[in-house]
Chains A and B, each alone.
Chain A
Amino acid sequence: MDRIRELASKKAAVIFTKSSCCMCYSIKQLFYELGASPAVHELDKEARGREMELALRGLGCNPSVPAVFIGGVFVGSTTDVISLHVDGSLKQMLIDAKAIWF
């Protein structure tokens, strides 16, 4: 969990993924489309990946990846991110966290 928090606070937009996860790929593309450059951490490449995955599940992230943090705050997985994007909240969150400017 500490490792998650540590990484999540390092950049305005942070996404935890797995290299084989295609849904993670979708979410990354969405962020790029919005002009954000999120920090991407692949759990299957992290030393404590398993622990981190359990920690994310503990946060209520289901499925555990992709797990999105904006401004250090846990936003959710795919469903949450897409829902927030549809009503315009995602963009606003990214602006507020200075991940993007417009």
Chain B
Amino acid sequence: MADVSPRTDTSTDADTEDKNLRFQINQSQDMVASDGSDKYRDQKTLRRLAQNREAARKSRLRKKAYVQQLESSRMKLTQLEQELQRARQQGIFVSSSGDQSQSMGGNGALAFDVEYARWLEEHNRRINELRGAVNSHAGDGELRIIVDGVLAHYDSIFRIKGDAAKADVFHILSGMWKTPAERCFLWLGGFRSSELLKLLINHLEPLTEQQLSSINNLQQSSQQAEDALSQGMEALQQSLAETLAGSLGPSASSGNVANYMGQMAMAMGKLGTLEGFIRQADNLRQQTLQHMHHILTTRQSARALLAINDYFSRLRALSSLWLARPRE
């Protein structure tokens, strides 16, 4: 604390505090003079009291400034919340991370995961409705409405996946939006229709000769298409590897920079075709489901859809068990 001397006559801006104190001390001294009961208060006490008052005043000023900061932060927060709300309503998912480039990819992936979860919930609701109808021996008319609804709802996930693949093809390919056990069987971002049909054949009896033959043909066609797409993917991988390997080697000459850029551009083009493969795989799944429905009677289709759902439910349950397993 600066030494306060009433006899100091130098007065700078930094001494404002001292001026204040002196003023207060003088005031107190005046008070002492007029109020007889305080005549035993000496300079020290007066100075101490003055300093206290000064400290209290400063404290009030600081508090005021702090509160003003809080108020303006609160306003800013409200503003941001409103913007976020608006953005969400427009269907843009805004991530909470500050990194812009990250959140673009994160946008697509996270938004899709949310949409998929919602779709699954609705799908399960429809399946339960179907199960109820089958168990209560509902008529064909009612069954057909529910079955058609389930199939149309399948169409919507393929559409959602298509949009998500445009935004983030690698997220769809990764299968991270599915549970671990489902990921075991992942093929081009989803299930293998041919495998599904193999599972179903035993659960669809009684089938007519014609139906059995048609289902077998469908299973075979699906398998052939899957193999063709798989081979195309392998060719893509090969081509990508060759393109990238082509830019390896001693990078002495300046010509290699242009080379590198050119090869990167080519590689980028190849990566761009991945989305097409996902789209064709989903198209195959969709067509297989539709044609299966076409071959079967309404009741058989209903049982097929229930069986498919049971199978995937078990896979998801297995995933939960796996994730919750006790580890040493």
Contacts and interface: CB of A to CB of B under 8 A. Distances in A.
A binds B: yes
Interface in B302-324: none
B224 A23 contact: no
Contacts of B229: 26
B233 A29 contact: no
Contacts of A30: 224-225, 228
Contacts of A47: none
A20 B239 contact: yes
A47 to B, nearest CB: 23
Contacts of A26: 228-229, 231-232, 235, 280
A78 interface: yes
Interface stretch (A7-15, A53-61, A79-87): A79-87
Contacts of A63: 276
Interface in B277-301: 277, 279-280, 283-284, 287-288, 291, 294
Contacts of B225: 30, 82, 85-86
Contact of B224 (A20, A22, A25, A34): A34
Interface string B253-292: 0000000000000000110010011011001100110010
B235 A25 contact: yes
Contacts of A34: 224
Given A27-B228, A82-B225, A86-B221, A22 B233 contact: yes
Contacts of A78: 276, 280
Nearest to A63: B276
B69 interface: no
A2 interface: no
A29 B283 contact: no
Interface residues of B, number: 28
A2 B12 CA distance: 97
Contacts of B269: 20
B222 interface: yes
Given A33-B228, A85-B225, A88-B217, A23 B280 contact: yes
Q: Do most interface residues of chain A lie in helix, strand or loop, or is the interface mixed?
A: helix
A99 B232 CA distance: 23
Contacts of A33: 224, 227-228
B197 to A, nearest CB: 11
A91 B220 CA distance: 12
B227 A22 contact: no
A11 to B, nearest CB: 20
B181 interface: no
Interface string A45-69: 0000000000000000001000000
Contact of A22 (B221, B273, B294): B273
A26 B218 CA distance: 19
A83 B288 CA distance: 9
Contact of A85 (B221, B231, B239, B279): B221
Interface string B185-220: 000000000000000000000000000000001100
Contacts of A20: 239, 269-270
Contacts of B283: 79, 82-83
B236 interface: yes
A78 B273 CA distance: 13
Nearest to B214: A88
Contacts of B235: 22, 25-26
Given A25-B231, A29-B231, A82-B225, A87 B291 contact: yes
A73 B284 CA distance: 23
Nearest to B217: A88
A44 to B, nearest CB: 13
B287 A23 contact: no
Given A25-B231, A83-B287, A86-B221, 4 more contacts: A22-B270, A22-B277, A26-B231, A86-B291
Interface of A: 20-23, 25-27, 29-30, 33-34, 63, 78-79, 82-83, 85-88, 91
7 A-B pairs closest in CB distance: A26-B232, A30-B228, A22-B236, A86-B287, A29-B228, A25-B235, A26-B228
